[in-house]
């Protein structure tokens, strides 16, 4: 299954925006993306910011990485479970918190 990832391993853009602050000529560009490592062992969240003014520009990028296995385990522990089959669809809230 290939969820939101291109075959060329390019990042999946979660959000992207540009804004201009009132009262000055500053432009702020922000982008948040997820990328799966080529070997699928790590997932990286990138938060990129650029700040432009008439006379200069600055940028900073924050990266957060986690092993794919640890992320999947966290999701299974903390995520809302939904069970689907041809007979029924239920959530854990429907089952009063009982795990199969």
What are the pLDDT digits (tens) for 47-65?
999 998 878 889 999 999 9
What was the pLDDT predicted at 83? 87
Q: Which residue ranges in the chain fall short of pLDDT 50?
A: 1-5
- Residue 73: φ, ψ to 5°: -60, -40
Q: In the chain, what are the domains? A: 12-68 (2.20.25)
Quote the pTM value. 0.67
pLDDT of the residue at 13 = 97
In angstroms, the CA 32 to CA 46 distance is: 6
For residues 18 and 26, is the Cβ–Cβ distance under 8 A? no
């Amino acid at each position: 299954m290939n969820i939101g990832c291109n075959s060329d391993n390019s990042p999946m853009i979660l959000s992207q925006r540009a804004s201009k602050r009132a009262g000055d000529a500053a432009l702020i560009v922000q982008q948040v993306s997820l990328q799966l490592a080529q070997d699928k062992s790590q997932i990286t969240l990138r938060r990129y910011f650029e700040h432009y003014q008439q006379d200069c520009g600055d940028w900073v990028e924050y990266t957060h990485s986690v092993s794919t296995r640890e992320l999947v385990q966290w999701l299974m522990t903390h995520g809302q479970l939904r069970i689907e089959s041809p007979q029924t669809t239920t959530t854990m809230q429907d089952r009063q918190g009982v795990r199969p």
